[in-house]
Amino acid sequence: MAGNGVGHKAARPWRVGAATAGAILVLGGCVSGADGGAARSNPSTSSRAATASGAASAAASASSSTDDTTSSTPFEADPAQVPRTRRRAEALAEAVALEPEAWGAGFRARQPAASTPGTVAVLDEQCRWERRTLPGSVLASLSRYGELPGTAGKGGIRVTAAVTVHATVLDADEQLATTLEEPLRCREQQVRSDEWISGLMSNATPYGQGNNTYADDQVVELGSYVDGDGKQTYYSYVTRLGTVTLAVSVRGAKGYRNDELIQYASNANAAMLDRVEVELGGRA
């Protein structure tokens, strides 16, 4: 599936980019300028976004059939193609998760190149990211890690593309709700012993709101990634289409504009959305 890209929906990268850029502008309006430039979110704004997301998802769930398809969705999968077993879900995750070289010219795999099989990323009670054994609500999860090495005058970008296949639409929807709320619970999130994300803000855009015409729901996060290279811009998009959630994240670097980083993330997100549609065999 490495060849699956954005070809059959050429307009999608622009739409995804416009929607996510708009969400980032909303987030940017919540910055208070405190804490050495670290961003602060507005709890009431995030709460309203969570309420809107939950209401849209509840309506979709209420109208869904036993095969987890809904009428209020931009895409209806072929029920026969929706994964019901871990083996089928693992195959879908492998086909959809973007390979490092597919992010663009010059990108390559980092080490490790992929997550441990049979695990999923979880933000624990101490605000530390770790991988845990798949719960019953998740059939498969795969993350692939890439980088664009630094050149003269520019630092190295790091990227992640992740796919999680859930047992039901409700399970997938709950991941989006959790993602939206995590920055309120954990202003700083530890990624590794010497790396963390700070000043996170989140914004949700359910299908039909803003420019979201391509996914059932999407959460955008903006913050700073702090590691040995100092503090860099960090973007993360988590997008849901049916029972599948997609996540792309970009850690910026010296010499890159924010719009360049957003373009990398939105193109990667669009490519994986197209791959999901191809794998699930429905008609958009």
Q: Where residue 80 falls among pLDDT bands split at 50, 70, 90?
A: very high
Q: Give the pLDDT confidence score for residue 16 in this predicted structure.
A: 56
pLDDT in tens, 162-180: 999 999 999 999 999 999 9
The stretch 142-153 carries a mean pLDDT of 95
Mean of pLDDT values over 154-162: 97
Indicate the pLDDT class of residue 35, thresholds 50, 70 and 90: very low
Tell me the per-residue pLDDT of 127-143, one tens digit each, with 9 for 90 and over. Answer: 999 999 999 999 999 99
Pairing of the two strands 129-133 and 119-123:
antiparallel
Of 3-7, 187-191, 201-205, where does mean pLDDT reach its minimum?
3-7
Residue 6 confidence (pLDDT) above 50: no
Q: Beta strand pairing status for 129-133 and 230-241?
A: unpaired
pLDDT, one tens digit per residue, over 227-240 is 988 999 999 999 99
Q: Taking residues 210-221, what's their average pLDDT? A: 94
* Averaged pLDDT, 132-155: 96
Q: For residue 7, what pLDDT band results from cuts at 50, 70 and 90?
A: very low
Q: What predicted TM-score, i.e. pTM, was given to this entire model?
A: 0.78
- Distance between CA atoms of residues 268 and 274, nearest Å: 10
- The chain-wide mean pLDDT, for the chain, equals 81
SS (H, E, C) 83-147: CCCHHHHHHHHHHHCCCHHHHCCCCEEEEEEECCCCEEEEECCCCEEEEEECCCCEEEEEEEEEE
Alpha-carbon distance 88 to 280, whole Å?
11
> What is the per-residue burial (b if ≥16 Cβ within 10 Å, else e) of 12-42?
bbebbbebbbbbbebbeebbeeeeeebbbbb
Does residue 261 or residue 19 have the better pLDDT? 261
pLDDT reported for residue 235: 97
Residue 190 to residues 88, 123, 134, 193, 250, Cα–Cα distance (Å): 32, 9, 21, 7, 16
* Average confidence (pLDDT) over 74-91: 95
Residue 282 is predicted with a pLDDT of 74
Give the model's pLDDT for residue 229. 82
